[in-house]
Amino acid sequence: MEGAIIPRAEEELTEYESQKKKRGRSTSIVWEHFDKLKDEVDDVWKTQCKHCKQIYSSAQKNGTSHLKRHMDRCPVIRASGLSFSSMSTPMVNDGHIGYESGIKRSRSISKVWEDFEKLKAERDDILKARCIHCKQVLAGASKHGTSHLKRHLERCPKRRNQDVRQLLLSSEVRSIKQLFSSNETLVDGAPLKKCTLDQNEVLKAISTFILCGKHPVAVVEEFGFRHMMSVACPEFENVSAHAIRREIVSSYLIERDSVKEHLRNSPGRVCLTRENWVSEYRKNEYMCLTAHFIDKEWKLVKKIIRFKALASPLNGTSIAEEIALCLNSWNLDMKMFSITSDNTLYDDDTVNSHKGSLFWEKNPLISDSFSHVRCCCQLLNHIVKSSLNLIDDVLDKIRSGVEHIRKVTSRKKKFYLIAAKDYQLDTKKRLRPDVCCRWNTTYLMLERALYYKSTIQAWGEQDRNFAYYNLSAEEWEKVAMIQKFLAPFYDVEFTFSSTKQPTSNLYFRALWKVHMHLLKAVRGPCSFMTSIATSMQEKFEKYWTKYNLILSCAAVLDPRYKVKLVEFCYTKIYGEKAEEFVNNTVRTLYSLFDEYKPNSMSSSCNLISSGATDTGHDLADDEFEDYEQFLSRKSRPQDEKSQLDLYLEEPGLDLNSDTNVLDYWSNSSMRYPELAVMARDILAMPISAVAPEASFNIGTKIFNPGQISLNPKLIQALVCLSDWIYSGLDKSSDANFPMLHEYGDPSASDEEIDYDDWDIEEGAFS
> How confident is the model over 716-738, as a mean pLDDT?
65
Integer Rg of the chain from CA: 42
What are the backbone angles phi and psi of residue 247, rounded to the nearest 5°?
Answer: -65, -40
Grade residue 85 by pLDDT with cuts at 50, 70 and 90.
low
Question: Is the pLDDT reported for residue 331 higher than 80?
Answer: yes
Output the pLDDT for position 742: 36
Pairing, β 90-93 against β 184-187: unpaired
Name which residue leads in pLDDT, 330 or 742. Answer: 330
Whether the predicted pLDDT of 644 surpasses 50: yes
Looking at the predicted structure, is the pLDDT value of residue 602 above 90?
Answer: no
| pLDDT band of 500, cuts 50, 70, 90 | confident
pLDDT tens, position by position, 240-252? 888 888 888 888 9
Torsion angles phi and psi, residue 532, rounded to 5: -70, -35
Residue-level pLDDT at 705? 53
Q: Which of 520-524, 539-543, 691-695 has the highest mean pLDDT?
A: 539-543
What pLDDT does residue 701 have? 64
3-state secondary structure at position 290: strand
User: Looking at 28-32, 36-40, 615-619, 703-707, which range is the least confident one?
Assistant: 615-619
266 vs 54, higher pLDDT? 266
Q: What is the pLDDT of residue 738?
A: 40
Residue 565 has pLDDT above 50, yes or no: yes
Instruction: State residue 421's pLDDT score.
Output: 92
- Over residues 358-378, the pLDDT tens digits come to 455 555 555 556 678 888 888
Phi, psi of 271 (to 5 degrees): -110, 145
Picking from 38-42, 370-374, 493-497, 762-766, which range would have the lowest pLDDT averaged per residue?
762-766
Residues 6+ apart with CB under 8 A from 83: 71, 72, 77, 105, 106, 108, 109
- With b for 16 or more beta-carbon neighbours within 10 A and e for fewer, the 135-165 pattern comes to eeeeebbeeeebeebbebbeebeebebebbe
Three-state SS string over 507-539 comes to HHHHHHHHHHHHHHHHCCCCHHHHHHHHHHHHH
CB atoms within 10 A of CB 381: 21
Judged by DSSP in three states, 176 sits in coil
pLDDT of residue 414: 92
pLDDT of residue 623: 53
pLDDT in tens, 280-315: 665 677 888 999 999 999 999 999 999 888 877 777
Structure confidence at residue 691 (pLDDT): 78
Mean pLDDT of 722-746: 51
Q: State the greatest distance between any 2 C-alpha atoms of the chain, in Å, as a whole number.
A: 149
Please give the C-alpha separations between residue 601 and each of 206, 334, 564, 604, in angstroms, as whole numbers.
55, 21, 28, 5
Residue-averaged pLDDT of the chain: 75
Q: What pLDDT digit, counting tens, does each position of 400-459 carry?
A: 999 999 888 889 999 999 999 999 999 999 999 988 888 889 999 999 999 999 999 998
Q: What one-character-per-residue DSSP string does 144-169 give?
A: G-SHHHHHHHHH-TT---TTHHHHHH
d(CA 574, CA 520): 14
Contact 411, 469 (CB under 8 A): no
DSSP-assigned beta bridge partners for residue 190: 187
What is the tens place of the pLDDT at every residue in 627-636? 555 555 544 4
Tell me the C-alpha to C-alpha distance, in Å, between residue 178 and each of 105, 153, 172, 275, 520: 21, 15, 12, 61, 84
What integer is the mean pLDDT of 545-567?
Answer: 92
Query: Is the pLDDT assigned to residue 5 strictly greater than 70?
Result: no
Distance CA(154)–CA(167), nearest Å, equals: 10
CA distances, 255 to each of 208, 299, 718 (Å): 13, 20, 12
Q: How sure is the predictor about 569, in pLDDT bands with cuts at 50, 70 and 90?
A: very high
Higher pLDDT, 602 or 607: 602
Please say whether the beta carbons of 710 and 750 come within 8 A.
yes
Mean pLDDT, rounded, for 492-510: 88
d(CA 126, CA 138): 10
* Closest to 336 (Cα-Cα) out of 271, 289, 275: 271
Give the Cβ contact number of residue 271 at 10 Å: 25
Q: What is the DSSP string of 442-453?
A: HHHHHHHHHHTH
d(CA 485, CA 537): 13
Q: What is the band of 621 on the pLDDT scale with cuts at 50, 70, 90? A: very low
Lowest mean pLDDT among 234-248, 350-364, 709-723: 350-364
In 3-state terms, what secondary structure has residue 626? Answer: coil
Q: Phi/psi zone of residue 424: left (φ > 0), alpha (ψ -120 to 50 degrees), beta?
A: left
At 307 the three-state DSSP class reads strand
Q: How confident is the model at residue 349 (pLDDT cuts 50, 70, 90)?
A: low
Chain-centre distance for alpha carbon 185? 42
Q: Kindly report, residue by residue over 155-199, the tens digit of the pLDDT.
A: 887 664 444 444 444 433 344 344 344 444 444 444 444 556 777
Tell me how far apart the alpha carbons of residues 291 and 303 are, in angstroms, rounded to a whole number: 5
Which of 292-296, 500-504, 637-641 is modeled with the greatest confidence? 292-296
DSSP element (H, E) containing 117: strand 116-119
Quote the pLDDT of residue 92.
40
What are the backbone angles phi and psi of residue 187, rounded to the nearest 5°? -125, 115
Query: Is the pLDDT assigned to residue 614 strictly greater than 50?
Result: no
The pLDDT > 70 percentage for the chain reads: 69
Tens of pLDDT, residue by residue over 112-146, are 888 888 886 655 557 888 888 888 888 887 777 88
Instruction: Tell me: pLDDT of 649 over 80.
Output: yes
Stretch (H or E) spanning 305: strand 300-309
Q: What letter would DSSP give residue 751?
A: T
Residue 26: predicted pLDDT? 55
